[in-house]
Amino acid sequence: MSFGSRLCDEALRAKGELIAAARGDTVSKLDRTPWQTAELVQRMQASDTTRGTLESLHSTIEELCCQYSHRDAMELRQEAQGWLQHVAGLLRRPVGLRAHSELLVAGGWLALLAGCVEYDLGMRTAAESTRTAAMQLGLEAGHPEIAGWGHEMTAWFALTQGRFRHAVEAAQKGQAVAQTSSVHVQLIAQEAKAKARLGESGLHSLLESGKEMLERLPYPGRPDNHFKVDPAKWDYYAMDVHRIAGDDEQATQYARTVIRDNITPDGVELSPMRVSECRITLGIVAGRRGDLEQAVELGRSGLEGDRQSKLHLQMVGGELDQELRRRYPGEGLVAEFEETLRGL
């Protein structure tokens, strides 16, 4: 017999006993076996979804989130969707309140991951739909971090589509609900990236506030988890802001540090997408310093690779293209880079 059937039978039996008590028929019996509120709560918290099942599920989801940076995007999306279906199946079973909440959280993280990968693949409509679902799951579970990541995705989408004011608004809205967590740090970074592209001031103070918050947070157990921010990831965000603000020395320093931290001694790129943007950043700096050939070479290498966030690459690659066209009008190498960029 399932938990739901047992709870239903017990509730009906208790109701009968309470009716009998009202009639004065079985007062002594009820006194010997009272229907305690605490016992009812314990039964409501019972679940056919065991603690081991939930722990295994959370472990699997974290591993998938750690594969985001390098795994084939379509494969990762399919696996995330498969686990979402599994979570939906578990939620259709009789589960206790705690297990129900944990399953909503699990579904929220999976939806966030799937939405990010969909956006990387250029599936803008699907990504927005999945993001909305993740936000709803986070709100229903009372999980401010998942809800914050929902706002962060909105800011990211807007940033890469050139809607910088909207990106700032989404980032600030997310900070209001995210509390003190990794996503709050990332929302500050997205706000700074958007404001840099709007030409606004106060970027240094904004970056300092994000860095200080990050320093107060415990170092993540799995810094390769896409939904965790560590100092190395913060350097990557700071690089973008400094590049847009024209601070070439700082941008170069951050870019080289990020590349060094994300390539193993035998040449394996741990985070290909970060490395790609760092190369484009170095290309922009090279172009500003008068080295067109190196700028184009670095830009092309930044647009290569199997694991890409296409819309994000189009944005930063487009910024390099604008820089080159402004500084080197009519040059053949610039036209060749434009052709490579269109190939995305």
Per-residue pLDDT tens over the stretch 92-149? 888 888 899 999 999 999 999 999 999 999 999 999 999 999 999 999 999 999 999 9
Q: Are 141 and 178 in contact (CB under 8 A)?
A: no
Mean pLDDT comparison of 12-16, 95-99, 193-197, 266-270, highest-scoring range: 193-197
| Structural tokens at position 316 | 């930063």
Beta bridge mates, 263: 269
Q: Reduced to 3 states, what is the DSSP secondary structure of residue 47? A: coil
Q: Which residues of 92-129 are buried (b: 16+ CB within 10 A; e: fewer)?
A: eebbbeebbebbbbbbbbbbbbbbbbbbbbebeebbbe
Confidence at residue 23, expressed as pLDDT on a 0 to 100 scale: 37
Average pLDDT, the chain: 88
3-state secondary structure of 159: helix
Report d(CA 175, CA 335) in Å as an integer. 41
Dist. CA 112–CA 118, nearest whole Å: 10
DSSP state of 306: S
The residue among 102, 94, 98, 101 whose CA lies nearest residue 54 is: 102
Identity of the amino acid at 212: E
CA distance 176 to 332: 48
Structure tokens at 92: 């259709």
Q: Residue 269's beta-bridge partner residues?
A: 263
Kindly give the residue spans of alpha helices, DSSP state H, lying in the chain.
Answer: 3-23, 27-32, 37-45, 51-66, 73-91, 97-120, 124-141, 144-160, 164-178, 182-197, 203-216, 231-245, 248-261, 272-288, 292-302, 310-327, 332-342
Contact 120, 73 (CB under 8 A): yes
Phi, psi angles (nearest 5°) of residue 281 = -60, -45
Sign (positive or negative) of CA dihedral 38, 44, 50, 51: negative
- Taking only the tens place, the pLDDT of each residue in 229-281 is 999 999 999 999 999 999 999 999 999 999 999 999 998 999 999 999 999 99
Most confident option among 7-11, 37-41, 211-215: 211-215
Nearest-angstrom CA–CA distance, 280 and 251: 11
Is the pTM above the cut of 0.75? yes
Average pLDDT over residues 172-196: 96
For 147-179, b where at least 16 C-beta lie within 10 A, e where not — what string? bbbbbbbbbbbbbbeebbebbbbbbeebbebbe
Assigned token pair, 64 = 């998938």
Q: Which of 51-65, 81-95, 277-291 has the highest mean pLDDT?
A: 277-291
In angstroms, the CA 198 to CA 159 distance is 11
Provide the pLDDT for residue 179.
87
Q: Are 190 and 152 in contact (CB under 8 A)?
A: yes
Q: d(Cα 36, Cα 18) in Å, to the nearest integer?
A: 12
- Residue 328 CA to residue 290 CA, distance in Å, equals 9
pLDDT at residue 195, as a whole number: 98
Residues 292/293/299/300 CA torsion (nearest 10 deg) = 150
Token digits for 290?
């008068």
Overall residue count recorded for the chain in this entry: 344
Query: How far does CA 287 lie from the centroid of its chain?
Result: 32
User: pLDDT-based confidence at 2, cuts 50/70/90?
Assistant: very low
